[in-house]
Structure 1
Amino acid sequence: MQWMIEKKDRQKVALLEYLMQRPELRLSIKMVQEAFDWSKYIALTTIRDLVADLAIFYPDFEPFVTLSDDEKTLILNRERNYDATMFRLNYLRESIPWLLMKELFDETMHSYDDFAVRNLTTVSTTRNAKLELDDYFAGHGVVITPDYTLAGNESEVRSMYFRIFQLYFADRAFPFDNSDEQLINRILDEVIHYIKPDDERLRETKCIAIRFTIAIWLGRLQHGHVISNDDVDAFLLPNDQLNERTRQLTAYVEQLVMQLFPMLTAEDAHREGRYVVMGFFSIGVGVEMKRRENMTPLFMNMLAAFIQIVDTHYNKLFNAHLTALEQDAFFEVFFELMVAAVTSPTPDEGRNRVRLDAAYEQFPLMAELALDVIDDVAERRHLDITLARGAFFEVLYTGFASIFDMHQVFPKIKVALDINYQIGLESILTDMILGMRAMNIEISEYIDDDTDILISDINNSNIPAENTFIWTSMPTSLEFEQLRRRMNIVKADKFEKMHDIKLRYEAR
């Protein structure tokens, strides 16, 4: 959704993201110029504008970034963490494409002239925004009709708006009328009761996701847009075969539809009840309801086929197959991903911006496997690889890193930890090092011929300087991060030599 924001505002967001990722407390303007290929004038203008906007948007906070008097250096305040997504919201909510997109959902758009007057813009700007939205919606199989309504796959319309609303209103701002909000909150309480009948707490993120799902569902029904019969039936068992709790939730939604929208048919209510349950499954809700029991053999076979693709690439990369325990874990980890894929056929390019540099910095082998799987699936389903990576990479990459046995797939890194008269420091460092995720680490007090990393208060000529860490006291967080990065590089290098392959990107 970056394209909805003006170029100068996109530059400020990009600059904030860049500064948040830098470890330095002081940064030269020249480094900013080189990072973005900006002239000095553009760099200084963007910096000044960013500083001014941060002060406006967050008046009660200490400045995150200030410009030195000679305008050659940026001074960063690390005590304050800014989120670029939340910062971007301030620009998005004022953008004409966004305002138009919201009115298309509400069906309050009647003409370019009317919209321009109400939103203090011009007809030509409105027309250009509509053309941009035409292109965006076309990628999702949705069109803007001559009377400014949205037509196409109804499931896709709802999924598309859900992804946008959830991403850009994560600060709890709710883009719906107050009267609707009361009804939405009442339905939310009822839904939570069906999911957690014993009044157990439900995660806040789940509650927010359910709330947006309900709001979008009601909004579309209010304008007479209903789900078609084949959107759900292929994947969700018939109602009489659903488990008890899921059947009760489906019946509640059906009854609610008939009560709120008497103009709809019983068949419409039946389809909507089933769709809402699938919608909840797609956003990670339903583990408590034993959601896998409710899916058709077709869906479970599709999920099994996907896990088989994972196993094929896992075997190619690691020369091993998934264990039964890992396969079962994948059924849960990737369940909602598969539900989302079948209910919303086009990948969401805005779901996650792929940060391959960060991924290969953290878990390079998991990132490599994720790309292998995504590219294979994209080719099979004729998807745009870039969009598919944006939609699925983060889920697969983190899912792999959370499940795989590091001792099975990663080469061992031998660390010699020998700091004289520092038993306490050695103990703390041992816990910190062994707590690193996706590492297969063996710690010894001794330096052997196959030692990879040395942590000591004394140098050793047999260990390369880049793999030697002379620590006589507790390392800083930055120093420990340097150790983690070096271990990551050693791990990737050993893996490449062991399997005679070259990873797509360098680990660093």
Structure 2
Amino acid sequence: MVVDLWMLDKKEQEKVTLLTELANSDEMILPVSELMDRLDWSKYKVLENARALNGDIQVVMATTDDTLLISDDSKTIYLDDRYLGNVDGIISYYIKNSVYWQFTLDVLNETMKSYEHFALQHAISAGTVSNIKQTLNERLAKYNLTITPNYHFEGNEMYLRSMLFHIMMRWDVVTQTDKIRDIVAREPIFKDLRINASALTNSRSLVIQQFLAISLVRARLGHFINSAPVRETLVNFDELDDRAQWLITEWQAMLERQGISMTNAKEESVQLLYILYLNNIRIDTDWMTNVTKRVKKRLNDFIFKLENLYFDCFNTELEEEELANLRRHLFATIIRSFGDSDDLFIPERFSSIDVATLYPVVHEFTNAAMKIFRQDMGITNLSDNFLYDKLVVTFLNDLAFDKMFKPIVVNVNMQQYPSANRVLQEMIKSVSRYEIVFTENTTKNADLVISNFQANVEPRNKFEWTALPTSRQWHQFEQRLGEISISKLNKTSIL
């Protein structure tokens, strides 16, 4: 379970489990017995959570429609997929209303007075509040964090800020720090970041604003980040480029205006550039000038090894543009590989199972690159999920894997519905990741046939569609495309 979901109590976690299962289903009619088997739940548990989840979706979506309709005999659940796609919206609703999250915010702001006071505010018992704290401490222990008897966070400050930041940004629960974000937004430093940084999108602007807001909350309360990773990754202040020096100086001045001592403000302000680089936000700084020789060497070594791996796998060299993009996009991952990493709190965007199905070659190349990172370079402090995710995204964006493949030949021949042929061809071309060419020859040249009448085609390469495909039919087609693509590789040593 992702780290964020421990902010939910058991009932909400169960509803999220059911919601995720239903959202991933290709069927709109599901036997209750099938859900019992998939989730290892009793019939009562499935039905109870289905009814509760349906009510919650109605609240979040402001509708009276039933997304989950239980049959009269309680044996079948009928789904309306109009609202099932917004899984994140439902989870955000649960987290915003979770007493675990409210308790966490009170501890963050150090406004917690007593179990009794919190219990009175949230209409629960003091014993329940005690259990909330105990549960949170059990879950936080693996991240070197704890809630002290006087209701303060204690432990790795970088972990704490990263945890809160990723929960707030991932689940859109940033409103609790709006007042602090307003202070940050009015400061000259942030106005400059927003106006002058050409690569700073609105979303990245919010990322910076939110992290600075959390940092300001913690600094005001006298909590500061350990600067050891900064010293390992960034050169001394007087060696930084002018832009970086300006950023740090302005952040220090802002902290001092908020009542933080000059000594602490100076120590804390050095973290700003480090945090920006961790998030791959370079904002017009000369980033290769600002990092230490160790960082440069580790980055260049990894790029060199990737270049060799690519040649060994595909018998072709990476182009200069591809190498430059790799350096730029792997920079943050290399920075994060020094010191304590906060990657445990960063949500996984790509499942290795999904990537292996949809992009089998990229999956294997990523695994080979991870092996280099771990074994050849001896870097072990980044979690497997985080590293896989970062590398997959980078490789998909920066490397031209398509040039390694011969085209996949597809025949679309809907005899009963000839007008659908062109529609299906355009659909396949527009959403497919592979190079597709179409042929009218159904048996000689075609790798795949979409038709409803030929009998002399290998069954696994024939798709008997009578109209636009269902989601399940399309998934089966994509799976087969992935399998065929492997045979189209010019060189297949990687597999």
For residue 174 of structure 1, what is the amino acid of its counterpart? T
Equivalent residue number for residue 244 of structure 2: 246
Question: Is the contact between residue 365 and residue 494 of structure 2 (CA under 8 Å) also seen in structure 1?
Answer: no
**Pairing 1:280–2:276 present:** yes
* CA RMSD across the alignment: 3.6
- Secondary structure of the structure 2 residue equivalent to 1:454: strand
Equivalent residue number for residue 58 of structure 1: 61
Once the two structures are superposed, the pairs formed by residues 452-463 of structure 1 within 5 Å of their partners are 452-456=447-451, 458-459=453-454, 461=456, 463=457
Give a deviation string over 1:425-466, Cα, whole Å, max 9, x none: 5555444434455424444333565642123465151x2122
For residue 298 of structure 1, what is the amino acid of its counterpart? R
1:139 pairs, out of 139, 142, 147, with: 142
**Pairing 1:398–2:393 present:** yes
Give a deviation string over 1:182-220, Cα, whole Å, max 9, x none: 313313x7424235328x694332122122111111011
Equivalent residue number for residue 176 of structure 2: 175
Distance 2:409 2:37 in 1: 38
**Pairing 1:164–2:164 present:** no
- Secondary structure of the structure 1 residue equivalent to 2:344: coil
Shift of 1:331: 1.6
2:441 pairs, out of 446, 451, 455, with: 446
Shift of 1:236: 2.4
Equivalent residue number for residue 339 of structure 1: 335
Q: Which moved more, 1:145-154 or 1:28-37?
A: 145-154
**Pairing 1:155–2:163 present:** no
Equivalent residue number for residue 291 of structure 2: 295
Equivalent residue number for residue 14 of structure 1: 17
**Pairing 1:210–2:217 present:** no
Shift of 1:4: 3.3
Give a deviation string over 1:77-118, Cα, whole Å, max 9, x none: 233354323312333344444333222211223554554454
TM-score by length of 2: 0.84
Question: Is the contact between residue 313 and residue 491 of structure 2 (CA under 8 Å) also seen in structure 1?
Answer: no
Give a deviation string over 1:374-407, Cα, whole Å, max 9, x none: 4664563445xxx823333333222222222233
Unaligned runs of 5+ in 1: 502-508
Unaligned runs of 5+ in 2: none
In structure 2, the CA distance between the partners of 1:429 and 1:289, relative to structure 1 (3 Å rule), is farther
In structure 2, the CA distance between the partners of 1:60 and 1:246, relative to structure 1 (3 Å rule), is farther
Equivalent residue number for residue 504 of structure 1: none
Once the two structures are superposed, the pairs formed by residues 424-439 of structure 1 within 5 Å of their partners are 427-436=422-431, 438-439=433-434
Distance 2:134 2:275 in 1: 30
1:466 pairs, out of 460, 464, 469, with: 460
Equivalent residue number for residue 481 of structure 2: 487
**Pairing 1:69–2:72 present:** yes
Question: Is the contact between residue 413 and residue 451 of structure 2 (CA under 8 Å) also seen in structure 1?
Answer: yes
- Secondary structure of the structure 2 residue equivalent to 1:348: helix
Distance 1:405 1:500 in 2: 16
Distance 1:62 1:490 in 2: 43
**Pairing 1:255–2:253 present:** yes
- Secondary structure of the structure 2 residue equivalent to 1:151: strand
For residue 175 of structure 1, what is the amino acid of its counterpart? Q
Give a deviation string over 1:12-44, Cα, whole Å, max 9, x none: 111111222222232222222222122222211
Q: Which moved more, 1:205-214 or 1:399-408?
A: 399-408
What is the count of residue pairs matched by the alignment?
490
For residue 196 of structure 2, what is the amino acid of its counterpart? P
Shift of 1:257: 1.9
In structure 2, the CA distance between the partners of 1:288 and 1:477, relative to structure 1 (3 Å rule), is farther
Question: Is the contact between residue 103 and residue 109 of structure 1 (CA under 8 Å) also seen in structure 2?
Answer: yes
In structure 2, the CA distance between the partners of 1:460 and 1:160, relative to structure 1 (3 Å rule), is same
In structure 2, the CA distance between the partners of 1:229 and 1:480, relative to structure 1 (3 Å rule), is closer
**Pairing 1:98–2:101 present:** yes
Question: Is the contact between residue 228 and residue 339 of structure 2 (CA under 8 Å) also seen in structure 1?
Answer: no
Shift of 1:467: 0.9
Question: Is the contact between residue 139 and residue 346 of structure 1 (CA under 8 Å) also seen in structure 2?
Answer: no
Distance 2:491 2:444 in 1: 18
- Secondary structure of the structure 2 residue equivalent to 1:70: coil
Bigger relative contact order, structure 1 or 2 (CA pairs below 8 A, ≥6 apart): 2
Shift of 1:412: 4.8
In structure 2, the CA distance between the partners of 1:130 and 1:398, relative to structure 1 (3 Å rule), is same
1:231 pairs, out of 229, 233, 239, with: 229
Question: Is the contact between residue 191 and residue 249 of structure 1 (CA under 8 Å) also seen in structure 2?
Answer: no
Question: Is the contact between residue 253 and residue 273 of structure 1 (CA under 8 Å) also seen in structure 2?
Answer: yes
Distance 1:96 1:313 in 2: 49
Give a deviation string over 1:449-492, Cα, whole Å, max 9, x none: 5642123465151x212212355765566644442232123335
- Secondary structure of the structure 2 residue equivalent to 1:234: helix
- Secondary structure of the structure 1 residue equivalent to 2:196: coil
In structure 2, the CA distance between the partners of 1:280 and 1:61, relative to structure 1 (3 Å rule), is farther
Equivalent residue number for residue 506 of structure 1: none
Give a deviation string over 1:204-241, Cα, whole Å, max 9, x none: 32122122111111011101122344332332233444
In structure 2, the CA distance between the partners of 1:44 and 1:21, relative to structure 1 (3 Å rule), is same
